[in-house]
Amino acid sequence: MITEYVHSDSVEEAYGLLTSLGSRARLMGGGTDLSLHPPTEVDTLIDLSRASLGGISRDDGAITIGATATLTEMLEYEPLGSVWSGVVHAMLRRVASPLHRNAASIGGHLARGRLSDVVPVMLAIDASVRFYDGAPRQMPLGEFYATRRNRRPLVVTGVEIPVDGGRAAFRKFARTTYDLAILNVACGVRFEDAVVSSARIVVGERPSLAVELGDASEVLVGQPFDEASIVRAARVARDTVDVRSDPRGSAEYRRHLTEVLVRRCLLEVTP
Amino acid sequence: MNLTVNGAAFDVEVKASESLLDLLRRLGFKGVKNGCDNGDCGACAVLIDGRAVTSCDYPAPAAADTSILTVEGLGTEGELHPIQAAFLDAGGVQCGFCTPGMLISAYELLNRVSEPSEDEIREALRGNLCRCTGYVKPVEAISIAAARMREATGG
């Protein structure tokens, strides 16, 4: 039961509250998820909307999005629509509805990780997360989750997307266009001449946190990007993905979806 | 905390766990409908500082010092807003429960886009569930409202 609601004026103050209250407190971005489903042990919400974490900017190397920027603000920021084949905007248009995108924040998505179409795309396009845990830090988003750093007390302050990216695509499968995905897939591929120089195939809503399928990605690297290697990578994805059953879909169904969505996603990436 | 609703200032006590939906209804704005209380149906949509959001999953304390527009603030006494009038003229209202949320979503859309395509209208209504109309009449209504509003402003 939420009994305290605090507006924090700075990242440092929010972090201080978080460390002193421990598991009783949660940081809040847009609140679309947290206000409806606060964990039972939580009695304090720390609202970050006044902590000066908003805004989106671009420099030579990256687009930087502040943690409290909403999904709508990301959609309205045109430079985000032109990097990585416009995958960020294409994905955001398929997230919930404008009513939610006007409130939901990028920081909330990254901090929660699960139940998100945003996270797999960010993983596929080499995004880095910025956070504060007594000092400002930055690390690749994949490492942030893989090392379980996201489970430690910290304030997500933003995300950085490299603009010198390759091509990318996103696919999701849901019962209705408006529902949470049964499975989603994002792919980011860089090319040198006609050969793949790097690839990330990411699967989310397995239903666990999105992960990169390293073995499937490796199938593509150093090869020409043709249908044969795409089909091979999709099969490896199917055979290596770690999936579970939940009310949204069975493990078997998710394994099947993985192959289909990875193949379609990669075909869309083809230059 | 302080907030403005439809141009009127309020100074209210709110509970930490209260939703903006519950607060607004408590203040008498019963046009804000509680359809699902789960962020799904859009019947509770209001504008907060010009952005349409679902108020059931918006904490009331987060609305401190904001300006809110509910369906009651769209028209004036005795005169409907062009979007409301168009919904009546086009038959966009059946049971009416989703209508306040649809009007709010349409209002935000027409603030941004004066001549929306059908796709843009449908995208704007994506978060407003309606079980009666099948959306055809509401979409027509918004298109009619947009045309009338352009005419009225000479655009």
**Domain shared by B67 and B87, yes or no:** no
What is the domain partition of chain A in residue ranges?
4-47, 56-162, 167-269
**Domain shared by B86 and B69, yes or no:** no
- Using the predicted structure, report yes or no on whether residue A136 has a pLDDT greater than 70: yes
**Domain shared by B67 and B118, yes or no:** no
The set of residues, in sequence order, having a beta carbon less than 8 Å from that of A224 and lying 6+ positions away, is A194, A195, A196
% pLDDT > 70, chain B: 99
Contacts of B56 in chain A (CB under 8 A): 36
Are B16 and A72 a contacting pair at CB < 8 A?
A: no
3-state secondary structure of A136: strand
CATH code given to domain A56-162: 3.30.465.10
Size of chain A, expressed as the number of residues it contains:
271
| Element at A159 (helix H, strand E) | strand A155-162
**Is residue A7 within 8 Å of A49, Cβ to Cβ?**
yes
Map tokens 């001549």 to a residue.
B115
| Residue of B13, B15, B17 for testing the chain A interface, max A β-carbons within 10 Å | B17
Contacts of A28 in chain B (CB under 8 A): 59, 62
**Domain shared by B108 and B130, yes or no:** yes
Specify the pLDDT at position A164: 86
**Domain shared by B53 and B99, yes or no:** no
Is the CB of B108 inside 8 Å of chain A's CB atoms? yes
Q: How confident is the model at residue A171 (pLDDT cuts 50, 70, 90)?
A: very high
Contacts of A98 in chain B (CB under 8 A): 52, 105, 108, 123-124, 126-127
Check residue A249 and report its DSSP letter. B
Distance (Å) of CA A27 to CA A6, A33, A155: 10, 12, 8
- Using the predicted structure, report yes or no on whether residue B84 has a pLDDT greater than 90: yes
Query: Which pLDDT tens digit goes with each residue over A202-250?
Result: 999 999 999 999 999 999 999 999 999 999 999 999 999 999 999 999 9
Q: Name the more confident of A85 and A38.
A: A85
Is the CB of A175 inside 8 Å of chain B's CB atoms? no
**Domain shared by B13 and B67, yes or no:** yes
Regarding beta strands B51-54 and A155-162, do their DSSP bridges make them parallel or antiparallel, or are they unpaired? unpaired
Select from B73, B107, B134 the last residue of a domain.
Answer: B73
Nearest to A107 by CA among A156, A72, A63: A156
Per the structure, the count of domains in chain B is: 2
Distance CA A231, CA A242 (A): 19
**Domain shared by B23 and B69, yes or no:** yes
Specify the pLDDT at position A177: 81
| Residue of A3, A71, A99 for testing the chain B interface, max B β-carbons within 10 Å | A99
Mean pLDDT of B72-101: 96
Q: Which two tokens stand for residue B140?
A: 């027509």
Specify the pLDDT at position A137: 97
Q: Which two tokens stand for residue A42?
A: 């939580």
Task: Choose the closest CB to B42 out of A1, A36, A97.
Answer: A97
Mean pLDDT of A102-106: 97
Measured in angstroms, the CA of B64 and the nearest CA of chain A are apart by 10
Specify the pLDDT at position A121: 98
Specify the pLDDT at position B77: 86
* pTM of the shown model: 0.96
> What CATH number has the domain bearing residue B108?
1.10.150.120
Query: Which pLDDT tens digit goes with each residue over A29-76?
Result: 999 988 888 899 999 999 999 999 999 999 989 999 999 999 999 999
Bond before A207 cis per omega within 30 degrees: yes
What integer best gives the mean pLDDT of chain B?
Answer: 96
Fold of A4-47: 3.30.43
> What CATH number has the domain bearing residue B46?
3.10.20.30
Domain range for B96: 82-152
Select from B73, B90, B123 the last residue of a domain.
Answer: B73
Measured in angstroms, the CA of B116 and the nearest CA of chain A are apart by 15
Measured in angstroms, the CA of A171 and the nearest CA of chain B are apart by 19
Mean pLDDT of B67-88: 96
3-state secondary structure of B94: coil
Q: How confident is the model at residue A182 (pLDDT cuts 50, 70, 90)?
A: very high
**Domain shared by B51 and B8, yes or no:** yes
Nearest to A67 by CA among A15, A21, A20: A15
Contacts of A7 in chain B (CB under 8 A): 61, 64
Contacts of B62 in chain A (CB under 8 A): 5, 28, 31, 47, 49
Q: Which two tokens stand for residue B69?
A: 């527009």
% pLDDT > 90, chain A: 92
Q: Which CATH architecture has domain A167-269?
A: 2-Layer Sandwich (3.30)
Specify the pLDDT at position A197: 96
Specify the pLDDT at position B155: 60
Transcribe B23-90 into DSSP letters. Answer: HHHHTT-TTS--S-SSSSS-TTEEEETTEEEESTTSBGGGGTT-EEE-GGGTSBTTB--HHHHHHHHH
Closest chain B residue by Cα to residue A180: B40
Are A35 and B105 a contacting pair at CB < 8 A?
A: no
Distance CA B27, CA B1 (A): 13
Is the CB of B61 inside 8 Å of chain A's CB atoms? yes
Select from B73, B96, B127 the last residue of a domain.
Answer: B73
| Residue of B41, B111, B126, B142 for testing the chain A interface, max A β-carbons within 10 Å | B126
Q: What φ, ψ does residue A101 adopt, rounded to 5°?
A: -65, -25
